[in-house]
Amino acid sequence: MSRALFRRQPRTTPWLALGGVSGFALLALGFAHPPVSTLDAELGQALFAWRDGALAQACVALARLFDGLGHAPVQAAWVALIAALLASLGGDRPAAGVLVMAMLGQWGVNQLGKTLIDRPRPQLDPQLYTVGASFPSGHAMSATVLYGFLLLWLWPRCRPGLRPWLALGAIGWIAAQALARPLLGAHYLSDVLAGVALGLACLAPAHAWLAQRDSHAFA
């Protein structure tokens, strides 16, 4: 990675990387201690048990929708579609390439984290099919990188009055996809928080690249 990539980066980029890595590390150390791990398990059980009632069932149905959007084949197709739109309609092939590299990079980091920490999944729903270790959540991490990248790309290209709504939409989508996992019993709450934190760290290089290229908007 060249020096030019970081020459004019905004001050938020290193904090994005440092904050993400620090948050992930604190969560990884935290669930290894009984008081924290017990609280984590109790919160997950309470959220899973809340699923009774009409409103809760509606939330579960919505959670299944967001959960499905985060599965690898669906997300791969979604990333390919967004990259194609960036390259064709947006006329921005470099950004499309950076998005694909960012998504591949976060996948590799996520798999490494799962392998090193190897946290078992919560056993709340015996009918729920899950693959791999629990920590960090791949759904939360990939959503953070994908929709965070879209937010950064769209930010200088939309009117200032629309930017708060754009940010709210991206944050809401990430939160919905992340919280769907503990609601369905597929992850602990700390798993999805760690996924978001590590996703922010993985987003930092793309943020730096966009900032250097679009310095008039990110200065």
In a domain, 2, yes or no: no
For 64, the domain range is: 10-218
Instruction: For residue 142, give the nearest of 116, 182, 173 by alpha carbon.
Output: 173
- Provide the pLDDT for residue 217: 45
In a domain, 3, yes or no: no
DSSP-H helix ranges across the chain: 4-7, 12-30, 34-49, 54-69, 72-88, 93-117, 138-154, 163-184, 189-213, 215-218
In a domain, 4, yes or no: no
Provide the CATH number for the domain around residue 64: 1.20.144
CA dihedral 47, 147, 204, 214 (to 10 degrees): -150
In a domain, 85, yes or no: yes
In a domain, 208, yes or no: yes
Q: Global pTM?
A: 0.80
In a domain, 1, yes or no: no
Instruction: For residue 75, give the nearest of 169, 138, 134 by alpha carbon.
Output: 138
In a domain, 199, yes or no: yes
**pLDDT per residue rounded down to tens, the chain (219 residues):** 334 433 445 567 777 788 888 888 888 777 676 676 777 777 767 766 666 655 555 666 666 666 666 667 777 888 888 889 888 877 888 888 999 999 999 999 998 988 888 888 777 664 555 667 878 888 889 889 999 999 989 888 888 888 899 999 999 888 888 887 777 777 788 888 889 999 999 999 988 888 887 765 444
- Provide the pLDDT for residue 80: 87
Count the domains in the chain.
Answer: 1
Please list, in sequence order, all residues whose beta carbon lies within 8 angstroms of the beta carbon of residue 61, skipping any fewer than 6 positions away. Answer: none
- Provide the pLDDT for residue 66: 60
User: What sign does the dihedral 143-108-209-207 (CA atoms) show?
Assistant: positive
Contact between 162 and 108 under an 8 Å Cβ cutoff? The reply is no
* HSE value, Cβ hemisphere, 13 Å, CA-based, for 1: 11
In a domain, 200, yes or no: yes
Contact between 208 and 13 under an 8 Å Cβ cutoff? The reply is yes
Tokens representing 190?
Answer: 């700390």
